[in-house]
Structure formats: structure tokens, C-alpha cells
Amino acid sequence: MLVFALIAVFPPTRRVAHGAWKALREALALTRSAEARRAQVARYAARYDISVQMAEDIYDAADAEGLDPELGFRLVRVESEFNEHAVSPVGALGLTQLMPATAAGLRPGITREEIFHRETNLRLGFRYMGELLRHYDGNVPEALHAYNRGIGTVTRIRAAGGDPANGYAAKVLGARGASPVGGKGSRREVVETAPLHEMAPAALPAGF
């Protein structure tokens, strides 16, 4: 009877133990992931001389929109130098320098004030960049050309046999693992280009 009792008891015990071990492994994986995120955020904050909170917001927005955080930080650095109140001469707003019409295409009904909201600006700017990356099949430089100059302009230049590169993509990408234009407040490199988004489309083309 004891043998039968042990046989009856051990299978569910092993199942419980296996379930507990699986839960423990998942918890440890989440802990390691959280620790890795904190370490990465701290490195970005130090690299660009920004607050940890700002770095967290940029990192999390990029992650939420499926954009490489490295690209997200570089984009914000060149677009606004991490100034969430930045306004360009042509009306581009906030950290990612969104044109109001572009923002409205991504979120109908959005107000100017809402575009300046940090999380909103980051999410929409990174979402737009993600759509451009998909449009150009993951070609980062080409997507950056379009972010800066507009899809229509890039298309026309390519159709005429030209090169849409104007220094903007190179400035954003820079050297891997380092700030492309130095730390915050450093002397900015000169790029021969029209003001950011001067020719950017108000919305993505039909069928985008």
C-alpha cells in the first residue's frame, strides 16, 4: 500500500516542483531584463548628459514602438538636442521635431499642446520613423533621408538619378557606440541641409 501511495503522491509533487521552478526561472529572467534595462538607461543618460528620467522615457518609448533605442536616442539628439520645448523655424515641435500635420496623421485630433507632451512626442516620432523603416525595407539611412527631407523629395531625387543624402543620416548614425555629435551642449557639426522637415510630408502617401 505504501508503494502505491508513493506512486500516487510523487507525480503531482514533481509537477508542482516543475511549475515552481519554471516560475522561478521566469522571475529571474524578468529581474535580469530589468537590471539590463536600468544599466542601459544609465549609460545613455551618462553619454548624452541627460536625466535618468529622460533617458528612461526615450528608451521605453523606442521599445514600445519597436525601434532600436540606440537609433531613438541618436534621432532625438540631432533633432532637438533633448529639448522637449524645441520649435523649428518651420513649426516642427518637441523632442522628435514632429510637424503638427504629421502628428495629426498619426493621431487624429491631437493638439499642439499634446504634441509637446514628452511621451506622446516620442511615441509618435518613433512610430513615424518605424513606418519609414518598413517603407524602405529596413534601410536606415534611406528612412532617415525621408524623415528629414520627406518621402516625396527622396523619391523625386532617386527618380532623377540623384542621391538624397545631405549629411543628416550620417550625422544621426555617426560612429556606433558614441554620440554622433558629442555630448549635450557641445559644438554642433554643420550639415548643409534645409531646416528639418521643411519638405517633410504632412502625412504618409496614400497606400503607405
**Domain presence at residue 59:** yes
Q: How far is CA 111 from the centre of its chain?
A: 22
Alpha carbon distance, N-terminus to C-terminus of the chain: 72
Residues spanned by the domain of 56: 52-173
| pLDDT at position 195 | 36
**Domain presence at residue 122:** yes
**Domain presence at residue 167:** yes
Q: Are 178 and 128 spatial neighbours (Cβ–Cβ below 8 Å)?
A: no
**Domain presence at residue 33:** no
**Domain presence at residue 97:** yes
At 63, which CATH number? Answer: 1.10.530.10
- The single-letter code of the amino acid at 193 is T
Q: Is the model's pLDDT at 14 over the cut of 80?
A: no
| pLDDT at position 204 | 43
DSSP H helical ranges for the chain: 2-48, 52-64, 69-80, 100-106, 112-116, 118-135, 140-149, 151-159, 168-173
Q: Is the pTM of this model over 0.85?
A: no
DSSP H helical ranges for 150-201: 151-159, 168-173
Q: Is the model's pLDDT at 15 over the cut of 80?
A: no
| pLDDT at position 21 | 72
Alpha carbon distance 51, 138 (integer Å):
30
Classify each residue of 60-77 as buried b or exposed e, where b means 16 or more C-beta atoms within 10 Å of its C-beta: bbbeebebebebbbbbbb
Q: Is the model's pLDDT at 3 over the cut of 80?
A: no
Known active-site residue 65: no
Annotated catalytic residue: which of 35, 79, 84, 114? 79
**Domain presence at residue 195:** no
Q: Taking residues 12-22, what's their average pLDDT? A: 66
Torsion of CA 156, 158, 162, 167, to 10 degrees: 90
| pLDDT at position 12 | 55
Alpha carbon distance 5, 169 (integer Å):
71
**Domain presence at residue 62:** yes
Domain count, the chain: 1
**How many Cβ atoms from other residues are within 10 Å of residue 51's Cβ?**
11
Q: Are 66 and 130 spatial neighbours (Cβ–Cβ below 8 Å)?
A: yes
**Domain presence at residue 32:** no
